[in-house]
Amino acid sequence: MTAPPRITAAAPARALGADGTLPEGNAKRVAVEAMFDRVAPGYDRMNRIISLGLDRRWRRAAVAALALTPDARVLDLACGTGDFSRDLANAGHRPVGADFSAGMLAATRTATPFVRADAAALPVADGSFDAVVCGFALRNFVDLETVFRECARVLHSGGRIAALDAAVPARALLRAGNAVWFRGAVPLLGRLLSRDPDAYRYLPASTAYLPPAAGLLDLLLSAGFIDARHVTMTGGSVQLLTGTKP
């Protein structure tokens, strides 16, 4: 009699290879989803630490840049645990969250309605929203051009988009300080404080996915936005991308 085949658990998908390589295509989609599912329980605490508490200021700046009228309906794309949604609700708006990670949605601490959805194929009718916000997720999408087109589709005429993400400072001294913190200290903190240390190697490295500012603006314009603008904050370590649907 032959022995039954041995069943082994599949290795968890990792968002960053042992040699520091970043995944592409569907491998990226699978790895990023699994990574955020794993880090969800401690994600908010790590965000506060990594950003030195400045993430709240960045989100407020993004909401202000939208120049919304009261009670605006806003899609919080890649909403995670709902930080942006809470800020929007506190500002008197009506956010709806969307995220592909079931783990992140399970860890939400907000009364905002949300849906599990792929940002490249949103289950939302055309022209449903006054604005779209996205916090530090552009580099996690597989096809940024398609995502921007979806954002334009779900906005009505005059609707606005505001997307925050990490950036690399242009000035040499600030760039060096940014590297010490995000590529040195953040992975170390991940090893000490997170249940998924590899995630905090991926997050600093993942800025390599993002085009330069001119490329991001071109993608917004190609998706149908006008008045596309790019500004940086905190010494150039954070970027804010905005645009308007005509």
pLDDT at 193: 83
- Residue located via tokens 């240390």: 197
Place 103 in a pLDDT band, splitting at 50, 70 and 90.
very high
Q: Break the chain down into helix, strand, coil percent, rounded to 5.
A: 45, 20, 35
Whole-number Å distance between alpha carbons of 97 and 103: 14
Maximum CA extent, the chain? 74
How does pLDDT run across 5-35, given as a tens digit for each residue? 332 333 456 677 766 789 999 999 999 999 9
CATH superfamily for domain 40-169+204-244:
Vaccinia Virus protein VP39 (3.40.50.150)
Tell me the mean pLDDT in the region 27-47. 92
- Residue located via tokens 């645009």: 243
Tell me the mean pLDDT in the region 26-55. 92
How does pLDDT run across 157-198, given as a tens digit for each residue? 999 999 999 999 999 998 899 888 888 888 888 888 887 888
pLDDT at 183: 84
Tell me the mean pLDDT in the region 116-135. 97
Residues 205-243 as b/e (b if ≥16 CB within 10 A, e otherwise) read bbbebbeebeebbebbeebebeebebeebbeebbbbbbb
pLDDT at 8: 31
Taking a C-beta distance cutoff of 8 angstroms, is the pair 200, 182 a contact? no
pLDDT at 14: 67
pLDDT at 187: 85
User: Around Cβ 64, how many Cβ atoms within 10 Å?
Assistant: 11
pLDDT at 5: 31
How does pLDDT run across 187-240, given as a tens digit for each residue? 888 888 887 888 889 988 899 999 999 999 999 999 999 999 999 999 999 999
Ordered by start, the domain boundaries in the chain are 40-169+204-244
